[in-house]
């Protein structure tokens, strides 16, 4: 199969779909790989590194799209990229369609077969292609929040871990999944007072077993969220419902009651955000203020640590790339029901129930498209 890797063009996105080591594996499988010039610059991989791995180098992204059957990316295709998609393309990347009707309409119109990393499952019900980036984003959320709490960044002027004789910052994490657990790990390590709120008792139990009495866990209720958020210095939104938009757990009225200079880091912004006042931002302009509360809502947080993120992501995605390239997308999906869950768009139809429900559109079951 002809595999294409374009350079990412989302603002301050430095990750790349395949590393040179991954390209070497794909080429060893008998496939042809075309990589756009400088696609790997953000992770320190040169065109010569890709050539040594067996890739051909294209001057432009348009050439990559024109030559490829399977396109491997990191972030959702931007409007100019969507214009190059064809019915014979297989697109394998993060899509996050639920809060993005324009992208959904363009993918449907293109006829492309689009497989989304974020809805591929595993036998345990997890999201193995989302998990690596959730780990990164969870850890980064505390770093970002700690910086935003500094007075020069608009925050309360609070040191996350405090110092002897001065209490540490109060951190509230909404969601105890992969993002929440990794945020808790870093926040506790920095000495903060940390609470995690989740509706899943088993999830809270796992966190309690992992972190012990250093971490306070609360079962999610409107009252618990309200009491914790009003008292918080830093609130991290870490809620995910696979495929669909995130529930709004914190309304504007509650944001208005937060302390002036408190900080919200809404990691759920890729799926619409779990804070009513959130809106997507970029690494170039990461924050805004609503009712005196600093909001950090960068939709591609792991892109800032591109090398770490790319290698972590490739470890998870490469087996699926090899399966799709080696078997063809139909056979690969037919033989792997968990990869089949990643099929979001095919032949002009939405094929993921959660995405379709979030967008208010009809869908065809993914299995029917095989």
- The residues carrying an active-site annotation are 96, 270
Burial 237-259 (b: 16+ CB within 10 A, else e): bbbbebbbbbebbbeeebbeebe
Dihedral sign, Cα of residue 181, residue 114, residue 308, residue 10: negative
Residues 142 and 163: their CA atoms lie apart, in Å, by: 18
CA separation for the pair 134, 189 (Å, rounded): 18
Measure the CA–CA gap between 156 and 148, rounded to whole angstroms: 9
- For residue 200 the two structure tokens come to 């899943």
Alpha carbon distance 262, 229 (integer Å) = 10
Q: 107, 345 in Cβ contact below 8 A?
A: yes
CA distance 155 to 149: 4
Question: Token pair of 219, please?
Answer: 């079962």
Rg (CA), the chain: 21
Name the residue among 84, 78, 79 with its Cα closest to residue 62.
Answer: 84
| Torsion over CA: 36, 22, 27, 130 (sign) | negative
Measured torsion, CA atoms of residues 265, 266, 269, 270, in degrees rounded to the nearest 10: 80
Six-digit token pair at 123?
A: 């036998």
């Amino acid at each position: 199969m002809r595999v294409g890797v374009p350079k990412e063009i989302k603002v301050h996105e430095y990750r790349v779909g395949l590393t040179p080591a991954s390209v070497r594996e794909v080429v060893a499988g008998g496939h042809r790989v075309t990589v756009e010039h400088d696609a790997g610059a953000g992770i320190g991989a040169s065109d010569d590194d890709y050539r040594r791995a067996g890739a051909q180098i294209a001057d432009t992204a348009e050439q990559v799209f024109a030559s490829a059957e399977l396109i491997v990316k990191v972030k959702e295709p931007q409007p100019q990229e969507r214009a190059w998609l064809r019915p014979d393309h297989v697109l394998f990347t993060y899509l996050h369609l639920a809060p993005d009707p324009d992208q959904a309409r363009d993918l449907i119109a293109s006829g492309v077969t689009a497989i989304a990393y974020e809805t591929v499952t595993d036998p345990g019900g997890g999201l193995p292609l989302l998990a690596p980036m959730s780990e990164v984003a969870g850890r980064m959320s505390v770093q970002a929040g700690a910086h935003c709490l500094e007075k020069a960044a608009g925050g309360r002027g609070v040191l996350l871990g405090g110092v002897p004789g001065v209490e540490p910052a109060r951190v509230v994490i909404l969601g105890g999944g992969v993002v929440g657990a990794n945020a808790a790990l870093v926040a506790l390590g920095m000495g903060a007072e940390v609470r995690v709120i989740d509706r899943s008792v088993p999830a809270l139990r796992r966190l309690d077993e992992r972190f012990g009495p250093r971490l306070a866990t609360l079962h999610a209720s409107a009252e618990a969220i309200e009491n914790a958020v009003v008292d918080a210095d830093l609130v991290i939104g870490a809620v995910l419902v696979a495929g669909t938009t995130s529930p709004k757990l914190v309304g504007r009225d509650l944001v208005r009651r937060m302390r002036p200079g408190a900080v919200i880091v809404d990691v759920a912004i890729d799926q619409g955000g779990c804070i009513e006042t959130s809106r997507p931002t970029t690494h170039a302009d990461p924050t805004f203020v609503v009712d005196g509360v600093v909001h950090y809502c960068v939709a591609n947080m792991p892109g800032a640590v591109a090398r770490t993120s790319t290698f972590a992501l490739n470890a998870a995605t490469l087996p699926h790339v090899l399966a799709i390239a080696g078997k063809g997308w139909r056979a690969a999906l037919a033989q792997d029901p968990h990869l089949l869950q990643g099929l979001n768009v095919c032949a002009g139809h939405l094929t993921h129930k959660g995405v379709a429900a979030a967008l208010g559109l009809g869908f065809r079951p993914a299995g029917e498209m095989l």
